[in-house]
């Protein structure tokens, strides 16, 4: 790509966001955030017990159509607990894409699980059902209804597809394949609140799904996460283990297993309640930003990561694809020097020292994308909300 094109891309960001430094994604607190925080402080319920936590859970359940939502301190904790509840035990293998944020894989490690890295689709950046099927056919042996990796002799307990940057992956095909092999699916929907396949919300396809409300996400609680599921028993277990496994009692401290102090504090949930009130409008604004980028990119011949037909992205982070590593690096330098924040996609997790020994399938598309994908500024522009 020529420097002229780099200029056009950064100018497009400037046309949307104006002059001065442009961050990649900034949070917006223009609704009831302050009021709800003050309400929370006034109530003295600032920690993990309080009505804002249950209200925030209800907001997420209603919005996504999930039967249950359980709030957690962050998305990583949500994923960890979801994996445990999906049946991942120490020494089990978990199928996961290598092209994702480190937290996806760390959550597997926290359960004692061992990641096996599979390739992604070039168009969605999410787990490739083609790669999954190839792996299952070549490496899996069924024993008493459970999938075992013939090479390692370990049980394959779960699969974690990720909806990258808000773009839904081919989740229905992934679930169908995993079902056929008795493998539980936990959807990493950390980045995809407001993203759909048809009319069904991402995160509701698997046995459990997990969201993140980190400060860089579409809506934020400062730090926070959520487990969603339609399964009554799993929902009950999720609440129990994220609240130190305390057995309800008016004053005695009885805990019936090793639980976690993972429940979202009321203060953070207060932010979440206010943010949820703005979510539909925020999604419209984000769709408009994406439209403004793509209109000009198509004319310029810049390749952009579009949502698959039949799916709707929340347009959390816009992403473009460069011709190769050199081209990508030149653009990263050009744009960041110009005060327009851009970031490369993550390094493949199997290239990091702690995951270097994990099995992988060659990761052809992942390696191709690793060298080429860059995120460009994607916030809600200043003043975009009508008050
Ligand atoms: C794909 C993905 N998975 C998991 C997480 C973990 O979420 P958190 O940062 O809230 O722990 C994030 C976000 O940070 C993410 O982008």
* Global pTM exceeds 0.95: yes
Q: At what angle do helices 232-242 and 75-85 cross, to 10 degrees?
A: 130
Whether residue 16 lies inside any domain: the answer is: yes
Q: How far is residue 89 CA from its own chain's centroid?
A: 23
Single out the residue in 233, 259, 275 at which a domain terminates: 275
**208: domain range?**
33-275
Residues 115 and 241 reside in one and the same domain: yes
Residues 156 and 287 reside in one and the same domain: no
Sheet containing 318-321, strands listed edge to edge, beginning at the edge strand earlier in sequence: 303-304, 318-321, 373-376, 343-344
Considering only CA atoms, which of 190, 192, 160 is closest in space to residue 307?
A: 192
Give the pLDDT confidence score for residue 387 in this predicted structure.
57
Cα(292) to centroid(ligand 1), Å: 27
Residues 227 and 78 reside in one and the same domain: yes
Question: 73 phi and psi, to 5 degrees?
Answer: -65, -25
Cα(162) to centroid(ligand 1), Å: 10
Contact 161, 192 (CB under 8 A): no
Residues 287 and 269 reside in one and the same domain: no
More confident residue, 64 or 298: 64
Residues 243 and 155 reside in one and the same domain: yes
Distance (Å, rounded) from C-alpha 262 to C-alpha 266? 12
Give the pLDDT confidence score for residue 386 in this predicted structure.
75
Q: Which residues line ligand 1 (CB under 6 A)?
A: 74-76, 79, 100-101, 103-104, 162, 188, 190-191, 212, 214, 225
Residues 163 and 311 reside in one and the same domain: no
Whether residue 288 lies inside any domain: the answer is: yes
Looking at the CA of residue 191, tell me the nearest atom of ligand 1: 16
Residues 214 and 340 reside in one and the same domain: no
Looking at the CA of residue 76, tell me the nearest atom of ligand 1: 11
Number of domains the chain contains: 2
342: CATH:
3.90.1150.10
Cα(192) to centroid(ligand 1), Å: 11
Number of residues that make up the chain: 387
Give the pLDDT confidence score for residue 76 in this predicted structure.
98
How many C-beta atoms lie closer than 10 Å to residue 375's C-beta?
19
Q: Mean pLDDT across the stretch 324-340?
A: 97
Single out the residue in 229, 250, 275 at which a domain terminates: 275
Q: Mean pLDDT across the stretch 315-320?
A: 98
> pLDDT-derived band of residue 17, with 50, 70 and 90 as boundaries?
very high
Considering only CA atoms, which of 85, 54, 17 is closest in space to residue 335?
A: 17
* Rounded percentage of the chain residues whose pLDDT exceeds 90: 95
Distance (Å, rounded) from C-alpha 46 to C-alpha 51? 10
Considering only CA atoms, which of 217, 279, 285, 219 is closest in space to residue 16?
A: 285
Single out the residue in 258, 275, 292 at which a domain terminates: 275
Residues 310 and 253 reside in one and the same domain: no
Per-residue pLDDT tens over the stretch 49-84: 889 999 999 999 999 999 999 999 999 999 999 999
Give the pLDDT confidence score for residue 299 in this predicted structure.
82
Q: Mean pLDDT across the stretch 296-312?
A: 92
Residues 111 and 80 reside in one and the same domain: yes
Q: How far is residue 224 CA from its own chain's centroid?
A: 12
pLDDT at 277 over 60: yes
Q: Mean pLDDT across the stretch 266-289?
A: 98
Looking at the CA of residue 214, tell me the nearest atom of ligand 1: 10
105: CATH:
3.40.640.10
Q: What are the E-state strand segments in 283-327? A: 303-304, 311-312, 318-321
Residues 197 and 286 reside in one and the same domain: no
Q: Is 254 exposed, middle or buried (0-12, 13-18, 19+ CB in 10 A)?
A: exposed
Give the pLDDT confidence score for residue 25 in this predicted structure.
97
Whether residue 381 lies inside any domain: the answer is: no
């Amino acid at each position: 790509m020529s420097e002229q094109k780099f200029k056009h891309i950064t100018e497009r960001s400037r046309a949307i966001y104006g002059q001065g430094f442009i961050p990649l994604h900034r949070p917006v607190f223009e609704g009831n955030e302050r009021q709800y925080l003050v309400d929370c402080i006034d109530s003295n319920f600032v920690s993990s017990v309080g009505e804002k936590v249950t209200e925030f859970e209800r907001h997420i359940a209603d919005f996504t159509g999930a039967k249950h939502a359980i709030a957690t301190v962050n998305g990583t904790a949500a994923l960890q607990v979801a994996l445990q509840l999906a049946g991942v035990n120490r020494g089990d293998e978990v199928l996961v894409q290598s092209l994702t944020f480190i937290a996806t894989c760390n959550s597997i490690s926290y359960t004692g699980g061992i990641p096996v890295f599979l390739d992604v689709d070039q168009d969605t950046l999410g787990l490739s059902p083609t790669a999954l099927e190839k792996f299952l056919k070549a490496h899996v042996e069924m024993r008493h209804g459970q999938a075992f990796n013939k090479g390692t002799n370990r049980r394959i307990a779960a699969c974690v597809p990720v909806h990258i940057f808000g773009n839904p992956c081919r989740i229905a095909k992934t679930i169908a394949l995993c079902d056929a092999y008795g493998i539980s699916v936990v959807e990493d929907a950390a980045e995809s609140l407001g993203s759909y396949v048809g009319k069904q919300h991402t995160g509701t396809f698997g046995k459990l799904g997990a969201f993140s409300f980190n400060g860089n996400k579409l809506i934020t609680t400062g730090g926070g996460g959520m487990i969603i599921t339609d399964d009554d028993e799993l929902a009950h277990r999720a609440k129990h283990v994220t609240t130190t496994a305390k057995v309800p009692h008016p004053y005695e401290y009885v805990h019936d297993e090793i639980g976690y102090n993972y429940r979202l504090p009321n203060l953070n949930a207060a932010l979440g309640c206010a943010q949820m009130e703005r979510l539909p409008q925020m999604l419209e604004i984000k769709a408009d930003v994406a439209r403004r980028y793509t209109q000009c990119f198509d004319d310029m011949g810049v390749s952009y990561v579009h949502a698959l037909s039949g799916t709707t992205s929340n347009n959390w982070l816009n992403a473009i694809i460069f011709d190769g590593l050199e081209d990508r690096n030149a653009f990263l330098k050009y744009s960041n020097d110009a005060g327009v924040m851009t970031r490369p996609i993550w390094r493949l997790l199997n290239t990091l020292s702690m995951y270097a020994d994990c099995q992988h399938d060659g990761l052809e598309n992942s390696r191709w994308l690793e060298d080429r994908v860059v995120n460009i500024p994607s916030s809600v522009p200043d003043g975009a909300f009508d008050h």
